[in-house]
Amino acid sequence: MTVTLDLSHRRAAAADSPATVAPETAPARTSLVGLTLDEMREAVLALGVEPKKAKMRAQQIWRWVYFFGARDFGVMTDIGKDLRALLEVHHTLDRPEVIERLVSADGTRKWLIRSAPGVEFETVFIPDVARSGALCVSSQVGCTLTCTFCHTGTQKLVRNLTAAEIVAQVMIARDDLDEWPSTTDGRALTNIVFMGMGEPLYNLDEVAKAIDLISDGEGISIGRRRITVSTSGVVPKIEELGNRTGAMLAISLHATNDALRDVLVPLNKKYPLAELMAAIKAYPGLNNAKRVTFEYVMLKGVNDSPSEARALVKLLAGVPAKVNLIPFNPWPGTAYECSDWKTIHAFADIVNRAGYSAPIRTPRGRDILAACGQLRSESVKTRASVALKERLAAADTPT
Ligand code: SAH
Ligand code: SF4
C-alpha cells in the first residue's frame, strides 16, 4: 500500500509542549460517522491514498463504522497502521454529543442530541412494539408547520438535519442498546419511524440519503420495509418519497373533512383532503402487504365522535390501509385534551368492524415527554441580524 503520510500536525504536537502549540494550528478532525461510501472515498483520497485503492479502503472503513459500530481506528486491523495513524490525525469516529439521556418507567429511552451549537434534537426508542422496537428519529430541528396539537409545532424551524445527523441518531441508539455488530438475531431495535421532530418531506434529499445508509444490508441493515416515513401531507413529495426510498408511508390525517383538518393541520389549506387521498392512492408499491398507515390523534370533543369514525371508513375506501389511533399526549400549554378511553374504544370498534386494523397506540414515555408530539428542544433560530450583532459585540469585548 502506498500512502503519502502527512503527520506534520502530529509531530508538531508531540514535539512542542502543549502550552506552546497555538490552538489554531491543531487540525480540525471531522467525524466519518454518517458519511456515505462515496464521501468516505473522498476522505481517504484527501489523505493521499492512491485512487486505485481508495474505494477498497473506503469500503473497509465503511464496514467498520456501520457493521461493527467501531469507535476507534485502532480496531481496523485490515487497514495498515500508517493509514490508521493518518485517519486518527484528521478524523474521528465520534457521534454527536448526547446532552441528556432519559429512561421512562416503561423502558422508553430518549436522547437529546447536540450536533452543533444551537442544533439540538431528540430521538426516542420505544421497546417491544409487537415484538419489535422502534426508533423514532427527527428529520428537522423544529418544524415550519404549526399543527395545533403538536408540541414540536410550537418550535420554529432551526434547520434541516443532514443525512449524517439522521444516521447518527441510529448509531447512538445502537451504542446505548449495545447492538453491535449489526447481526439480525434478537435485535431490540428493528424498525425506524420518521415520527420525531420535523416534517421529513421538507427534507427529502437528506432523509432519502439517510435511508440508503440505514437500510444497506452490509451495514446497519434495517430494511426499507421496516422504515416508515410519516408526513402531515406534503402532497407533491409523496410519490417521490416512494420512488426514492421504498419506505412505508404514514399519513397524519387527524380529521376527515377539510374544515376541521384546516384547523388541526394547517398544511391542509394548501393540500386539501381530495388531493392528499389521490397522492396516497398513487404511492408506489402500495398493496395489501404494503399498506399506508393513517395516524389519527384522539382529541376530546374535537374529532372523536362515532360519525367521524364512519367518515374515516368512507374516506379510506379502496386504499390498502391501517389506522393508528393515537391518544393525545398533552404538553405544557396545550388547550387540547385526550379523548376518554370509552370514546377511543368505540371509535376503534367502528373502524375495526369496517375491516381495517385500528390499534390504539399505548402512550409510551409520557413521563419523560417522549411520546408522539411531545418532542421539542430549546434550540432557537437566531435571526441573522441578531447573530451579527452578537458577533460584533463579542469582537468588541476587550479580553
Ligand atoms: N411531521 C411528521 C412526522 C412527525 S409527527 C408528521 O406530522 O407526520 C409524528 C406523529 O405524532 C404525527 O402523526 C403527529 O400528528 C403526531 N402527534 C403530534 N403531536 C401529538 C400529540 N400531542 N399527541 C399525539 N400525537 C401527536
Ligand atoms: Fe410538524 Fe408533524 Fe408536528 Fe405537524 S405534527 S407540527 S408536521 S412535527
pLDDT of residue 183: 82
Q: Is 24 a catalytic residue?
A: no
Q: Is 338 a catalytic residue?
A: no
The mean pLDDT of 354-359, rounded to a whole number, is 93
pLDDT above 80 (res 2): no
Look at 260-264, 353-357, 393-397 and tell me which has the smallest mean pLDDT.
393-397
Question: Per residue in 150-182, pLDDT tens?
Answer: 988 888 899 999 999 999 999 999 999 999 999
| Residue of 333 and 265 predicted with greater confidence | 265
For the ranges 210-219, 295-304, 365-374, the lowest mean pLDDT is seen at: 365-374
Rounded mean pLDDT, 251-268: 98
Q: What one-letter code names the amino acid at 334?
A: T
The pLDDT, as a whole number, for residue 25 is: 59
pLDDT score, position 1 = 37
Mean pLDDT over residues 287-299, rounded?
95
First to last CA, the chain: 49
Is 338 assigned a ligand-binding role in the annotation? Answer: no
- What pLDDT was estimated at residue 155? 82
pLDDT at 15: 34
17 in a labelled binding site: no
pLDDT at residue 27, rounded to an integer = 63
Query: How buried is 369 (Cβ within 10 angstroms: 0-12 exposed, 13-18 middle, 19+ buried)?
Result: buried
Does pLDDT of 320 surpass 90? yes
Q: Which atom of ligand 1 is nearest to the CA of 329?
A: 23
Among 252, 323, 360, residue to substitute to test ligand 1 (most atoms within 8 Å of Cβ):
252
The string of pLDDT tens digits covering residues 377-392 is: 666 665 444 544 554 4
Domain boundaries, the chain: 30-92, 97-382
Q: How much is the pLDDT for 368?
A: 74
Say whether pLDDT at 123 is over 70.
Answer: yes
Q: Is there an atom of ligand 1 within 6 Å of 153 CB?
A: no
Task: For domain 97-382, give the fold.
Answer: TIM Barrel (3.20.20)
Catalytic annotation, pick one of 120, 122, 165, 308: 122
Would you say the CB of residue 115 lies under 6 angstroms from ligand 2? no
On whether 230 is known to bind a ligand per the annotation, the reply is yes
CA–CA separation, 133 vs 137, rounded Å? 13
The per-residue pLDDT for range 21-80, each reduced to its tens digit, is 444 556 689 999 999 999 999 999 999 999 999 999 999 999 999 999 999 999 999 999
Residue 366, pLDDT above cutoff 90: no
Q: 128: pLDDT confidence band, cut at 50, 70 and 90?
A: confident
Confidence of residue 11 (pLDDT cuts 50, 70, 90): very low
Pocket test for ligand 2, best of 154, 158, 199, 268 (most atoms within 8 A of CB): 199
104: which 3 cell numbers? Answer: 421512562
With bands split at pLDDT 50, 70 and 90, how would you rate the model's confidence at 332? confident
Q: Name the grid cell of 205.
A: 434529499
Above 50 in pLDDT, residue 18?
A: no
Q: Which fold has domain 30-92?
A: DNA polymerase; domain 1 (1.10.150)
Sign of CA dihedral 230, 235, 237, 238: positive
Contacts of 280 (CB under 8 A, 6+ apart): 238, 249, 251, 286, 292, 319
pLDDT-derived band at 14 (thresholds 50, 70, 90) equals very low
The more confident residue out of 266 and 362 is 266
Q: What is the pLDDT of residue 203?
A: 98
At 12 the pLDDT is 36
Q: Which tens digits make up the pLDDT trace of 185-226?
A: 889 999 999 999 999 999 999 999 999 999 999 999 999 999
Report residue 393's pLDDT band, with 50, 70 and 90 as the boundaries.
low
- Identify the pLDDT of residue 338: 96
| The pLDDT value given to residue 154 | 84
Q: For residue 388, what pLDDT is reported?
A: 46
Mean pLDDT estimate for the chain: 88
pLDDT at 378: 67
pTM beyond 0.75: the answer is yes
Cell of 337: 385534551
